[in-house]
Structure 1
Amino acid sequence: MKKSIKDQKTVLLILLSNLFIAFLGIGLVIPVMPSFMNIMHLSGQTMGYLVAVFAAAQLVMSPFAGRWVDRYGRKKIIIAGLFLFGVSELIFGSGTNVWVLYTARVLGGISAAFIMPAVTAYIADVTTLEERPKAMGYMSAAISTGFIIGPGVGGFIAAYGIRMPFYFAAAIACIACISSIFILKEPLTKEQFAEISANTKHTSFFGDVRRSLNPLYFIAFAIVFVLAFGLSAYETIFSLFSDHKFGYTPKDIAAIITISSIFGVVVQLFMFGGMVDKLGEKKLIQICLITGAILAVASTLISGFWLVLTVTCFIFLAFDLLRPALTTFLSRSAGKEQGFVAGMNSTYTSLGNIVGPAAGGILFDVNINYPYLFAAVIMVIGLGITVMWKERLQEEIPE
């Protein structure tokens, strides 16, 4: 039975903590990666491959994880994801061979594929349609906060040893895993799971991909890909762009990213639910795409630290609001297929995260403004795709 957010604070706190911990763990190793790279004598190409392997593993595993969430239960997949995340960080931190690092990154990608759809489906199961946007806003804020705090925590812990942040990430994942075992309960009854499981047994990886092309889902999934593609291309190039064009120091760049991220988190926590209630997911998504496209172009024309900071704050906010708006939209349309939809959401996000940085890097070598202009074009394409919702999707999505 669905209850109000106030009536299940403990459950939501555990779910949001799980996401926060997973993304804190990813963020806290960022400051030590250059030093770790030197100790291990790794090339830049190898580091790039390690990033790609994580995204590729998440991409391949996400559809399977989505089906397993529906078949075996939300709680089991969350616990499995947290356990694998802890193991992957432990292996990476203690690794002395590059192939051990690749193994750790593959496990990390699999863990991400497990955690995201399982938590998304769990939250969709226990919240009402009216309160779901607020819950998805909290979920997005937990992810963003983990990324914001992670690098700072990692830099502090690294004072005790270059491998300590990895061990710390493994430890907090273990704590999250144990707390989930004892506090979380499966949100659906055995009868509900039996019905969903009966449907998922007849599906396959390629069947899920074909199902994602259904007009009910595909337009939203296409925008998920566009968002991940544009955002990853923008964020990947941001530090290089700021360094080459404005001569900003790492401290300047860190300040811009941190302030912009905190601004986005505050708006998500306190305003996202009200914005969805007032505008609806579709209109909010369209406003964010228009804003993102305009500001991406503006980023190539402006100068001055405070103006750059202001523009970056609002473009990050547009991206931060797009994520939960799309997730809420998809969860409303999913009905009893929350696991499948959350899994495919993760798949299309991973695909965008693989292609976006590569395209951004290639364009940056041609002209430093091209990645931002390209991101703007991609967002305009996404805006054009949303126009089809009026004809196809709005009639099909249950109220």
Structure 2
Amino acid sequence: MRRLVERLVAPFAVDRRVLALAGARMADGIGNSFLIIVIPLYVTSGVVGGTAFGLGESMIIGLVLSLFGFLNSSFQPVTGRLSDRIGRRKPFILVGLAGLAMTNVAYVFAETYVSLLVIRGLQGVSVAFIIPSSVALVNELATTGDRGGNMGVYNTFRLVGFGAGPAVAGAVVSRGPYALPGGAVIDGFDAAFYIATITATISYVMVTVLVSDPESTAANAGADLSIPILDRSGTNLLDPVFTLGVASLFMATAIALFATIQPQVNARLEQGSTWFGLQFAAFIIAQVALQTPIGRACDRYGRRPFIVVGMLLLVPTTLVQGFLFSSVLMFLARLSQGIAAAMVFAPSLALVGDLAGPGESGSKLSVLTMAFGYGIALGPLSSGALVGYGFEVPFVFGTTLAVLGLALVYTQVEETLETSASVPVVGSD
């Protein structure tokens, strides 16, 4: 298996452990994103019952899905800092994957709304063990000259998994029940939960066999893990890591506004669910296509220019969505918004990775991953609350956040890469 990974890693020009970890995250991403489609169907199928606390099905679905995001984001700084203290990443990733596998199979036995909330909450905590430790490990296996490329490859694989899951989840549910060898039969929901369990198990095996912590992680355990708000160097007002965390929160909120207003979008554009699905997927398509090349480009030309341009592009691509009446133009706007986010995310991770001292990767990088997770959770809530005041209002709100994020990045974040040493001068020897 190791030889196969070594052959596969050559075209990506990354450490084989980074590619193995990226592949593992792609596998667990498929299973985890399955649940985004399957859980709403499961709640409305009549299989689940019990106390609903006086809430309707749509509110229960929202609680189940959002609980994952809030717990996941809230626990990431804790697990990131703890992995820094201990000086180990791999055990945290394995604990998270094991928890994910066990909670995936637990859905088969869930028959009440309360059990769904508990299981989804435990999944959020499990993934909080995986994300900061994984990103920190990628950071520590990279160098200043290839950090952006490594982050880009990792994010590309992860997003492929996240995008592939929803594409097939509905079909798995609708085509059930399935006959198994020996005469057993399982319905479509149980099949989907078992698939999610299998993908998490595959990830666990891949990490166990192919991924290891670098020696420097243990050697540097227990460093100063505080995350200041103000810039200690005195160059700017705010600390750059904190600044990028706030900008990531604003960016994620802006890009997630689209997710929960499908009825309003379809009515305004006079389109069906197929077009909405394409528009929603356009963002992920741009991310998958551009994360790696942008990551490698920021290793060559610097981190800050990509982050600034990406935040600048986020402003019009968010605003225009509130004023369009064409399905094609909405698709292009979402695609352009995905380009903007791709220009921000991998370079931001690389810049924070550059700033992270020995043994600080988990703590510092978790600021970005936590902020992004909160934004993804806050975006749908914001659009749901604001769309009643007018279709364009959520997007104006998102645009305002994008402008604030752009101002913060432009004024408070400095370049960390010495581009003069990495970019060849034409005509030089």
Find the counterpart in structure 2 of residue 324 from structure 1. Answer: 346
Alignment counterpart, residue 188 of structure 1, candidates 176, 195, 215:
215
Distance 1:232 1:56 in 2: 14
Q: Which residue of 1 aligns with 2:66?
A: 52
| Amino acid corresponding to residue 151 of structure 1 in structure 2 | P
2:254 alignment counterpart: 230
Letter of the 1:325 partner, please give it: P
Contact 1:59 1:351 in 2 (8 A): yes
CA distance in 1, matches of 2:40, 2:378: 23
CA distance in 1, matches of 2:300, 2:127: 32
Q: Does 1:125 align with 2:140?
A: yes
Q: C-alpha deviations, 1:72-115, integer Å up to 9, x for none? A: 31111111111111122122343112221111111111122111
For residue 211 of structure 1, give the secondary structure of its aligned residue in structure 2: coil
User: Which residue of the partner structure matches residue 374 of structure 1?
Assistant: 397
Correspondence for 1:147: 162
In structure 2, the partner of 1:286 is 308
Higher helix share: 1
Specify every segment of 5 or more residues in structure 2 that has no aligned partner in the other structure, as ranges: 1-8, 50-55, 177-187, 232-238, 419-429
Counterpart position of 2:424: none
Tell me if 1:211 matches 2:257: no
Aligned equivalents of 1:355, 1:251: Cα separation in 2: 25
- Amino-acid identity (%): 20
Indicate whether 1:170 and 2:192 are aligned.
no
Report the TM-score, using the length of structure 1 for normalisation: 0.87
In structure 2, the CA distance between the partners of 1:343 and 1:267, relative to structure 1 (3 Å rule), is closer
Structure whose CA Rg is larger? 2
**SS of residue in 2 equivalent to 1:252:** helix
Distance 1:267 1:398 in 2: 20
Deviations 1:350-395 (A, max 9, x none): 33233332222111121111111111111000011012236xx44x
Q: Report the equivalent of 2:179.
A: none
* 1:309 Cα offset (Å): 1.8
Of 120-129 and 252-261, more deviation after overlay is shown by: 252-261
1:212 and 1:221 in contact (8 A); partners too: no
Range 222-231 or range 73-82, more displaced? 222-231
The equivalent of 1:263 in structure 2 is 286
Aligned to 2:84: 70
Shifted more, 79-88 versus 28-37: the winner is 28-37
Q: Distance in 1 between matches of 2:67 and 2:295?
A: 35
TM-score w.r.t. length of structure 2 = 0.82
Give distance in 2, aligned partners of 1:279 and 1:242: 39
Deviation of the 1:321 alpha carbon: 2.8
For 2:337 and 2:106, locate their aligned partners in 1 and report how far apart those are by CA, in whole Å: 36
Aligned residue in 1 for 2:20: 14
| Structure 1 CA distance for aligned equivalents of residues 243 and 287 of structure 2 | 25
Alignment partners' CA distance in 2, 1:260 and 1:114: 26
Q: Is the 8 A contact 1:113 1:346 kept in 2?
A: no
Q: What is the rounded CA distance, in whole Å, between the counterparts of 1:228 and 1:273 in structure 2?
A: 19
- Counterpart secondary structure, 1:357: helix
After superposition, give the CA deviation of every residue in 1:314-358 in whole Å (9 maximum; x if it has no partner).
Answer: 112212332212111111111221011122223222332333322
Q: Does 1:43 align with 2:65?
A: no
- Cα 1:30–1:218 change in 2 (3 A) is closer
**Number of residues of Structure 1 aligned to a counterpart in Structure 2:** 379
Report the alpha carbon displacement of residue 252 of structure 1 after superposing the two structures with TM: 1.4
> Does the CA-based 8 Å contact 2:255-2:337 persist in structure 1?
no
Pair 322,8 (structure 1): closer, same or farther in 2 beyond 3 Å: closer
Indicate if the aligned counterparts of 1:157 and 1:165 stay in contact, CA closer than 8 A. yes
1:384 aligns with 2:407: yes
Name the structure 2 match of 1:91.
106
Structure 1: which amino acid aligns with 2:388?
D
Q: Which moved more, 1:247-256 or 1:74-83?
A: 247-256
Match of 2:5 in 1: none
Gaps in structure 1 of 5+ consecutive residues: none
* Separation of aligned partners in 1, 2:172 and 2:199: 13
| Cα distance per residue 1:130-177 (max 9 Å; x no partner) | 111111111221222112211122123222312321221111111211
State the superposition RMSD in angstroms.
2.3
User: Relative to structure 1, is the Cα distance of residues 34 and 60 closer, same or farther in structure 2, using a 3 angstrom cutoff?
Assistant: closer
Contact 2:25/2:203 (<8 A) preserved: no
Distance 2:37 2:70 in 1: 23
2:153 to 128, 134, 138: 138
- Counterparts in 2 of 1:112 and 1:163: CA distance versus 1, 3 Å: same
Residues 229, 308 of structure 1: alpha-carbon distance in 2 compared, 3 angstrom cutoff: closer
SS in structure 2 of the partner of residue 294 of structure 1: helix
**Which string of whole-angstrom CA distances, capped at 9 and with x for unpartnered residues, describes residues 288-318 of structure 1?**
1121111222222333232222222111221
Alpha-carbon distance in structure 1 between the residues aligned to 2:345 and 2:417: 21
Q: 1:66 touches 1:339 (CA, 8 Å); kept in 2?
A: yes
Q: Structure 2: how far apart are the matches of 1:186 and 1:157?
A: 37
Letter in 1 for 2:21: L
From the superposition, tell whether residues 49 and 370 of structure 1 become closer, same or farther in structure 2 (CA, over 3 Å): same
Amino acid aligned to 1:177:
Y
Is 1:302–2:317 an aligned residue pair?
no
Measure how far apart 1:31 and its partner are: 3.2
Provide the rounded CA distance (Å) in 1 between the counterparts of 2:309 and 2:274. Answer: 32
